[in-house]
Each structure stands twice: as structure tokens, then as C-alpha cells.
């Protein structure tokens, strides 16, 4: 039952990804000009002068003078065999550039998601059960601030405070000595010591919203007759809440996985940019701004795959925790 469901979902994602790749490629191509006009314009901004003859030559070499569908076909037929093409800007195969960054992005997103759950779950339960107490008010106030503040702004403020008052630099994911070092236990430790700040910054918004969702859902359940019945039968309060209404309220929590994951990755772009994190965000943004289309296309395609996988995982989890979905 579950197996056929999963297989069906996976099969459906194939045409979906194809359409996504087409749209992504079209969107990257949509702005006027191409990589080379952007290249010339960016250099002009810094007072540099680009050789016009050189530009024409490169345009021909990169195939930018060919029609859209030809360019798309060249790209997608390579992708199918694992060749993502060449990044115009870096003159390197795209696959050399993206994997380490994608891995760091996924690490960051996973950590943030775990952090969000770990914080939002107990706090949400607490503020629903202790509705309208001082604790609930404090949590609600903090939650609203978290919802209202864009995370990149939080990052900028924290960076400014760190530089001006403490004279330290909080950007990046590694200390200078570990940036180029091969992976080792010490490097992982260094990563962890830097990771918490972006995790907190990125997690703030989604923690706040999840807390609100948990609180609202639980409040709906707390006054239903089955709760009263269970309480009347003498079940301990803690056990009662965790076993029945919380389980009911958990559904939206799990289904957030589907959208929270891609949202964390794409939402982290600006924050990662501000904090100079070596994740996929800044490189994706640069690639888009530079119209470095194969690089940008590879990122977008991979992010779409992640969303598809995230959705799938969340649907499976839902089916696992909620028999009603499984048997429908």
C-alpha cells in the first residue's frame, strides 16, 4: 500500500521536474541581454573597460547567439548524463562548484529545521496549555517579533553589534585556518561552533510561526469532548495532553517539512549573502545576477529536487503518524 504510493509519487515527479527545468531555464533567459552583457556592465561599474571584440568572440563560443530551444536542449541532454555544463564566469564544470555548497546548505537547513522543531514544539505546547498566562504573553510577544523581522536584518544587526561592541567577526562558517583545510574532526567542531548563529537567525522566523501553529491547533483540540472524557477517567494531565490532543495537533507540524525545507534553503539566500556563508545561496544569487545560466540552472534544478523529496518525506511521515491518511 505504502510502497505503491511512494512509487507513484516518484514517477509523478519525473514530468514535474522536466517542466520545472524548462521553466527555470526560460526564467533565467528571460531578462534582456545575456551573461556577457551583464559581465560588461558589472565591470563598468568598477571602472573597468571590457574589450568589445573579445565579448563578441565569447558570445559565439558560449553559444549565446543560438535560439532558446537549442540552448535548452544542449543543457538538459547533458544534465541527463550528469554533465551540468560549464559555468561561464568561472570556466569550470558546474559540478565542481555546486556539491560542497549544496552539502553545506542541506546541513544548515537540516540543523535549522531540527532547531525549529526542538524549540517550537515544547514552547507551543506550553503556551497552549497555559493560555493567557504571563509565560504565554512573553512567548507570543517574542514570537511576533520573530515573525515580523526579516532574518537578514537580524543578521545585519547582530553583525554590526559584534563588530562595533565586541570587535569580532561573526560571518562565515569556518575560522580562517579551517577554511581550506581538508575535512577532519577539528574542522567539524569548528563548523559547529560557527553554525549556531546562522541557525538561530534563520530559525527565528519559522520557530515563531510553528509555535503559533502548534498553539492554535492544540487549543482547538483541548476543548474537545474526548479530552474531557480522558480527564474524567483520571489520566494524568501530562500523559493525557501528549498522548491525545498533541498527536492530533502534530499533523501540520509534520507537513511543514515539505515546504519548510526548500523555504529554508531559498529563504537563506539573503541571510547567507549578508553573513558570507559558503552555502549555495550566495553562489545561486550571483549566478542569477550574472546570468551564468548553467550554474543557476543546476542550482534551481537541485533545489526543486529537494522540494520534491521534502514533500515526499513529509507525506510519508504523515501517513505513518496518522492512520486516517494511510487507510483513506
Partner 1 sequence: MSFTARALLRSCAAGALLMTALPVLAADYKEAPALAAAAKAGKLPPVEQRLPEHPEVVKPLDAIGTYGGQLRFGLRGSSDHNHILRMVGNQGLVRWDPAYTKLVPNVAEKVDVSPDGKVFTFTLRKGMKWSDGKPFTADDILFNVDDLILNAEFSAPQPRYMTGGVPMKVEKIDDATVKFTFTEPYGDFLAELASPLGQHPVLYAKHYCSQFHPKYNANIADTVKANNATDWKNLFLQKCGDIEIPARWGNVDRPTLDPWVVKDPYTGGATRVIMERNPYFWQVDTAGNQLPYIDELNAPIAQDVESLILAAIGGRIDFGLRHLDAPANRAVLAENRTKGGYEMFEASAVGGTNMVINLNLMAKDKELRELFNKKDFRIALSHGMNRKEIIDTALLGDGEPWQNGPFENHPNFHKRIATQYLEYDVAKANALLDGLGLTKRGPDGTRLLPSGRPIKFKIDVIPTLQPEQVDMLQLIERQWAKIGIDMDVNSLERTFFYERTSNSNDHDAAVWGGQASWVPGEIPQQIVPVHHDSRWGIPWVQWYKTGGKQGEEPPASVKERMKLYDEARATTDPEKRRALMLKIADIAADEFEVFSVTKALPTYGIAKTNLKNVPATMPSSWYYPTPAPTLPQTWFWAK
Site residues (vs partner 1, CB under 8 A): 31-33, 37-54, 56-57, 61, 83, 86-87, 89-93, 95-97, 100-101, 156, 159-160, 163-164, 167, 169, 171-172, 174, 176, 179-180, 272-274, 276, 278, 282-283, 285-286, 289-291, 295
Nearest approach in angstroms of CB 240 to partner 1 is: 50
Q: Which is nearer to partner 1, 283 or 319 (CB)?
A: 283
Q: How far is the CB of 57 from partner 1 (least distance, A)?
A: 5
Nearer to partner 1 among residue 4 and residue 168 (C-beta): 168
CA dihedral 277, 286, 289, 20 (to 10 degrees): -90
- Distance set, CA 69 to CA 62, 72, 117, 204, 229 (Å): 15, 5, 44, 43, 65
Give the nearest distance from C-beta 159 to partner 1 in angstroms. Answer: 6
Nearer to partner 1, 4 or 91 (CB): 91
HSE, CB side, 13 Å, CA atoms: give it for residue 56: 2
Question: Alpha-carbon distance 6 to 12, whole Å?
Answer: 10
The distance of closest approach from Cβ of residue 121 to partner 1 in the complex, given in angstroms and rounded to an integer, is 34
Q: Give min distance, CB of 42 to partner 1, in A.
A: 4
**Whole-number Å distance between alpha carbons of 294 and 87:** 6
- For partner 1, give the closer residue by CB, 128 or 275: 275
Residues 276 and 280: their CA atoms lie apart, in Å, by 11
Q: Which is nearer to partner 1, 40 or 129 (CB)?
A: 40
Closest CA to 87 of 303, 286, 305: 286
Amino acid at each position: 500500500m505504502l510502497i505503491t504510493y511512494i512509487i507513484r509519487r516518484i514517477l509523478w515527479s519525473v514530468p514535474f521536474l522536466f517542466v520545472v527545468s524548462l521553466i527555470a531555464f526560460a526564467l533565467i533567459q528571460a531578462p534582456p541581454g545575456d551573461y556577457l552583457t551583464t559581465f560588461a556592465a558589472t565591470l563598468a561599474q568598477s571602472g573597468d573597460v571590457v574589450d568589445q571584440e573579445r565579448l563578441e568572440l565569447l558570445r559565439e563560443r558560449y553559444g549565446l547567439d543560438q535560439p532558446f530551444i537549442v540552448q535548452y536542449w544542449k543543457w538538459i541532454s547533458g544534465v541527463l548524463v550528469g554533465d551540468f555544463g560549464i559555468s561561464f564566469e568561472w570556466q569550470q564544470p558546474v559540478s565542481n562548484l555546486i556539491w560542497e555548497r549544496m552539502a553545506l546548505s542541506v546541513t544548515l537547513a537540516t540543523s535549522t529545521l531540527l532547531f525549529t522543531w526542538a524549540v517550537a514544539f515544547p514552547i507551543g505546547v506550553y503556551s497552549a496549555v497555559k493560555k493567557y498566562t504571563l509565560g504565554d504573553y512573553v512567548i507570543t510577544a517574542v514570537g511576533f517579533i520573530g515573525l515580523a523581522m526579516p532574518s537578514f536584518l537580524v543578521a545585519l544587526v547582530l553583525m554590526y553589534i559584534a563588530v562595533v561592541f565586541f570587535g569580532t567577526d561573526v560571518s562565515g562558517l569556518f575560522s580562517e585556518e579551517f577554511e581550506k583545510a581538508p575535512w577532519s574532526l577539528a574542522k567539524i567542531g569548528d563548523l559547529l561552533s560557527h553554525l549556531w548563529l546562522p541557525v538561530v537567525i534563520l530559525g527565528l522566523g519559522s520557530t515563531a510561526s510553528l509555535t503559533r501553529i502548534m498553539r492554535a491547533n492544540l487549543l482547538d483540540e483541548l476543548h474537545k469532548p474526548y479530552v474531557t472524557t480522558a480527564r474524567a477517567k483520571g489520566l494524568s494531565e501530562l500523559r493525557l495532553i501528549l498522548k491525545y490532543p498533541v498527536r492530533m495537533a502534530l499533523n501540520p507540524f509534520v507537513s511543514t517539512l515539505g515546504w519548510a525545507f526548500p523555504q529554508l534553503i531559498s529563504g537563506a539566500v539573503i541571510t547567507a549573502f549578508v553573513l558570507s556563508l559558503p552555502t549555495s545561496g550566495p553562489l545561486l544569487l550571483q549566478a542569477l545576477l550574472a546570468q551564468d545560466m548553467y550554474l543557476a540552472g543546476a542550482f534551481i534544478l537541485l533545489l526543486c529536487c529537494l522540494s520534491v523529496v521534502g514533500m515526499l518525506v513529509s507525506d510519508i511521515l504523515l501517513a505513518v503518524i496518522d492512520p486516517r491518511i494511510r487507510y483513506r
